[in-house]
Amino acid sequence: MKEKFIRCCLLAGGVIFFIACGSRKTINEVPATEILHQNQDLLTEVIIYDVFTPPVAARLYVYTSLASYEAIRYSKPGAGSIAGKLRGFAKMPEPEKGKSYDYTLAASQAFFTVTRNIKVFSVDSLKKHEQAVYRMFSDKLDKATYDRSIAFGDTIAKVILARAKDDGYLVSRGKPKYLGSKEPGKWRPTPPDYLDGVEWCWNTMKSLVLDSASQFMPPAPPQFSVDTNSFFYKNANEVYTIHKQLTKEQETIARYWDDNPFVIEHSGHLMFGTKKITPGGHWMGIAAIAARQTNADVVQVAKGYAMTAIALYDGFIACWDEKYRSSVIRPVTYIDEHIDNNFVPFLQTPPFPEYPSGHSVITASAATVLEYMYGRNFSFQDTSDLRYIGMQRHFNSFADAAAEASISRVYGGIHYRTGVEAGAVQGKNVGALIVDKILK
């Protein structure tokens, strides 16, 4: 409970700090790049507070970051549209020639408008942040430039939201619950709370770059068996053996990459939830670190966020397509029934099938995109989660970070090695396609 209270205080403090600073500072004192970073930070905090599932969080990140980029790109001659290379977007509006604009203001307006209309719930925090940003600009700009920039941001947002309205999300909200199957080897709700399967029809979402959700379908998972000489049994027994001999370093790695947005904790008859950053939010944070470390200009900052979000969004679609096709039983269920009925994994098992690992897919996809943008041997200190769980780690490359995130799921006792290996391959394929279609 104490740890949860500290995290909540840090979250509230972060929002209050920006609002206080925003009311005192002028545009000249806050660089355009920092305004974009602060906008993104607030979105992550809202996503944590509102407890969106990882795929839904990725959807929020992709539309908001695209809106921001499509407005800010006009501050740098020659910066092309990203949305124009994606599936389902109408032609983006252009600013009037010969008229003055503040594109950072336009980008913020587009970002906020999309955020509000994609249905976040913490509207009060969002409004306070918006007002602080708008005050900075209204104190500096003439009224005509201010109004024109706001209007341009709105026109960008309308095009983004039109695509979002038709991406399959609203239809998916009316689907029945997925409760798995009692068929041997198939997923069913897992302890301690036996929740129904999350976002089971996410493969029906309209992808951005992928031709279809199954474009990079992984090989079929290992054949289910309870025979102690079978590959499936040995695969599960490896998870169990690692769990029994878990080192402090493995525990740290598992905890660091947990990124479970809502862990339900039990203490006697009490039950409470601990909110954390989503897996996608963690990698949006890494994109921010790369931009700051390279002193990226404002367009590159926005581009980094947008490209990372695209990798996350399409990565989840590809991963979830296979998850609910094969619907593989989780280690906690298999081990409890066939190896040790007292088994409790180090991490709480998230409520969806095992194969492939979602962390492995989206981290490999995001790492592939960031590697193309910032370099293969990009060394960085990952502080993305520092304010939320008080932890940070150093990595010599994005690929190293993705690999550690992937294996962390085996250490946590929630994935088999086959699940994380297949996920990493699928994620790299998704990321490579995105680089090919958009960045090259």
DSSP string, 337-373: HHT-TT---SSPPPSS--SS-HHHHHHHHHHHHHHHH
The model's confidence at residue 232, banded by pLDDT at 50, 70 and 90, is very high
Asked if residue 334 is part of any domain, the answer here is: yes
As for how many domains the chain has, the answer is: 2
Q: Which two tokens stand for residue 71?
A: 């407005």
CB 149 within 8 A of CB 106: yes
- Whether the per-residue pLDDT at 8 is higher than 80: the answer is no
**Across 11-15, 136-140, 229-233, least confident range:** 11-15
* More confident: 210 or 126: 210
* CA-angle at 144, arms to 141 and 149, nearest 5°: 75
Question: What digits encode the pLDDT tens for the residues 73-109?
Answer: 999 999 999 999 999 999 999 999 999 999 999 999 9
Same domain as 393, residue 415? yes
Strands of 158-269, DSSP E: 262-267
259 in the same domain as 149:
no
Range of the domain at 95: 2-170
Could you tell me if 321 and 257 lie in one domain? yes
Are residue 67 and residue 97 in the same domain, yes or no? Answer: yes
CB within 8 A of 132, min separation 6: which ones?
Answer: 18, 19, 21, 22, 23
Please indicate, yes or no, whether residues 143 and 213 belong to a single structural domain of this protein: no
Determine how many CB atoms are found less than 10 A away from the CB of residue 390.
11
pLDDT category, 264, cuts 50, 70, 90?
Answer: low
**pLDDT surpassing 90 at residue 186:** yes
Are 62 and 309 contacting, i.e. CB atoms less than 8 angstroms apart? yes
Q: Answer whether 45's CB lies under 8 Å from 15's CB.
A: yes
Which residues, other chains included, contact 122 with Cβ-Cβ below 8 Å and sequence gap of 6+?
46, 49, 50
Is residue 59 domain-shared with residue 124, that is, in the same domain? yes
**pLDDT tens digit string along 115-174?**
999 876 777 778 888 999 999 999 999 999 999 999 999 999 999 999 999 999 999 998
**Looking at residues 15-40, what average pLDDT do you find?**
66
> Which CATH number do you get for residue 194?
1.10.606.20
Structural domain includes residue 310: yes
Condensed to tens digits (0 to 9), the pLDDT of residues 369-395 reads 999 999 999 999 999 999 889 999 999
In a domain, 281, yes or no: yes
CA separation for the pair 260, 195 (Å, rounded): 14
Q: Is residue 232 part of a domain?
A: yes
> Given this model, what pLDDT does residue 299 score?
98
Least confident range from 38-52, 221-235, 271-285: namely: 271-285
Tell which of 170, 202, 226 closes a domain. Answer: 170
Nearest residue to 286 (alpha-carbon basis) of 191, 367, 376: 367
pLDDT (0 to 100) of residue 51: 82
Both 399 and 430 in one domain: the answer is yes
DSSP 94: -
Residues 115 and 225 in one domain: no
- The CA distance from 54 to 262, in Å, is 10
Do both 99 and 35 map to the same domain? yes
The reply to whether 354 and 313 lie within a common domain is: yes
268, 159: one domain: no
Residues 154 and 222 occupy one common structural domain:
no
pLDDT at 24: 38
User: Is the confidence at residue 25, as pLDDT, over 60?
Assistant: no
Structure-token pair, residue 193 = 């709370």
Q: What's this model's pTM, rounded to 2 decimal places? A: 0.92
Q: Retrieve residue 437's tokens.
A: 């279609």
Please, which pLDDT band fits residue 272 given cuts at 50, 70 and 90? very low
Task: Judge whether 176 lies within some domain.
Answer: no
